[in-house]
Amino acid sequence: MDNTFDPNGAAIEGSGIFGLPYFEDESEIVIIPVPWEATVSCGGGCSYGPEAILEASMYTELFIPKFGSFYEKGIHMRPVNSRIEILNKKSKKLTRSIRKDPESNKPSLIKKRNAINALSKELYILVEQEVNSVLKSGKIPAVLGGEHSVSLGAISALNKKFPDMSVLQIDAHNDLRNNFEGFAHSHASVMRNVLSNTKVSNLVQVGIRAFCQEESEYIEQSEGRVVPFYDEDIYTKLFNNETWDSICDQIVSNLSEHVYISLDIDGMDPSMCPNTGTPVIGGLSFNQLQHLLAAINKSNKSIAGFDLVEVAPVSIRNKSYENDWNAICGARILYELCGSAIV
């Protein structure tokens, strides 16, 4: 640890995430950056998320009274695994050439889709290995995306340690499509892949407001393994004088003792993430998120791990992110997740 660290001062250049001075072995939370965007369907840019959030995090205030000085338990972000960077470059190049002619079933394009699927599979295994290495030392892993497909490896690793684990997904979309656009590991299929590849107890979804019939039918057939809290239903309850506090209790009552939080930034109101790939009107306010996390902390349940995905900065060209609103919001939400997981 760097002894010049002053929690009340400005972050020192070259310090760790949130301006903190901790090495991995001194940290209770280890953040794994996964700059990956292979299957984006609308706007791109989320592979710059980790870099942008790291930079914007230097301006996040450390002191949050309800969490005390929790950051002294240490938050550390690893450098990007160079193999992930290589995989991302390769798959982005392939995706670009497919996008020019997305409807085509030409053999050459099918071959490219298959190549992306193979790269996605390798990424999934890499993320699983990185998360496993954090779990081995008894620390809390967090994955910072990248597109939503990066969650699969993390959930898979954690579920082996916590067989009863629930997934709490905050998202505008169900992400339950089968094989979206020919991609086995699409961001739009991540939770379908989680449910079929892992043994998580259930999937509780909050903020959902954009979905297709296939996904609704899948939920119906899931026999209660998927518990959606649709955005419109939440607001109907609020407008009929139910409190957000009681809705949070209903959400939390569906979770098992160990909880994995998968936070797709598009679950939040798009004012916090105007540049995310598939923004949707509606969504959670930051204060609602804070209260939901507090409700988990108030219960006897614990956050075993978490991810934050789909944050896409605007200022990719000049690569200066300290004023990028998407990154500023992403950093603050990441900090809230860290506080809720450690407390």
Stretch that binds Mn ion, among 97-105, 166-174, 251-259, 315-323 (CB under 5 A): 166-174
- If one asks whether residue 307 binds Mn ion (CB under 5 A), the answer comes out as no
Stretch that binds Mn ion, among 10-18, 76-84, 135-143, 168-176 (CB under 5 A): 168-176
* Residue linked to tokens 């290589």: 86
One residue of 130, 175, 215, 269 binding Mn ion per CB under 5 A = 175
Q: Which residue from 6, 2, 50 is spatially nearest to 26, judged by alpha carbons?
A: 2
Q: How far apart are CA 116 and CA 327, in angstroms?
A: 27
Q: Between 19 and 279, name the residue whose CB sits nearer to Mn ion.
A: 279
Angular region, 175: left φ>0, alpha ψ -120 to 50, beta rest = left
Burial state string for 259-279 with b = 16 or more CB within 10 A and e = fewer than 16? bbbbbbbbbbbbebbebbbbb
Residues 95-124 that bind Mn ion (CB under 5 A): none
| Shortest distance, position 192 Cβ to Mn ion, whole Å | 11
One residue of 139, 148, 177, 192 binding Mn ion per CB under 5 A = 148
Q: Between 58 and 280, name the residue whose CB sits nearer to Mn ion.
A: 280
Largest CA distance in the chain: 60
* Residue linked to tokens 């809390």: 140
Stretch that binds Mn ion, among 65-73, 163-171, 203-211, 248-256 (CB under 5 A): 163-171
3-state secondary structure 47-60: HHHHHHHHHHHCCC
- If one asks whether residue 171 binds Mn ion (CB under 5 A), the answer comes out as yes
Phi, psi torsion values for 63, nearest 5 degrees: -85, 115
Residues 177-206 that bind Mn ion (CB under 5 A): none
Q: Between 128 and 175, name the residue whose CB sits nearer to Mn ion.
A: 175
| Shortest distance, position 148 Cβ to Mn ion, whole Å | 4
Stretch that binds Mn ion, among 34-42, 174-182, 216-224, 252-260 (CB under 5 A): 174-182
Residues in the chain: 343
Q: Which residue from 141, 173, 86 is spatially nearest to 305, judged by alpha carbons?
A: 141
Beta bridge partners of 43: none
| Shortest distance, position 190 Cβ to Mn ion, whole Å | 6
Strands 29-34, 258-264: parallel, antiparallel or unpaired by DSSP? unpaired
Q: Between 56 and 308, name the residue whose CB sits nearer to Mn ion.
A: 308
Q: Which residue from 38, 20, 40, 37 is spatially nearest to 29, judged by alpha carbons?
A: 20
| Shortest distance, position 89 Cβ to Mn ion, whole Å | 23
Q: Binding string to Mn ion for residues 252 to 271, with x set by CB under 5 A, is what?
A: ------------x-------
Q: Between 60 and 120, name the residue whose CB sits nearer to Mn ion.
A: 120
Residue 320, burial from CB neighbour count under 10 angstroms (0-12, 13-18, 19+) = exposed
Q: Between 148 and 185, name the residue whose CB sits nearer to Mn ion.
A: 148
Stretch that binds Mn ion, among 88-96, 142-150, 158-166, 285-293 (CB under 5 A): 142-150
Which residue minimizes CB distance to Mn ion? Answer: 264
Q: Between 175 and 231, name the residue whose CB sits nearer to Mn ion.
A: 175
- If one asks whether residue 336 binds Mn ion (CB under 5 A), the answer comes out as no
Q: How far apart are CA 247 and CA 243, in angstroms?
A: 6
Q: Between 71 and 180, name the residue whose CB sits nearer to Mn ion.
A: 180
Pair of tokens at residue 132: 């496993």
Q: Which residues of the shown chain bind Mn ion in the complex (CB under 5 A)?
A: 148, 171, 175, 264
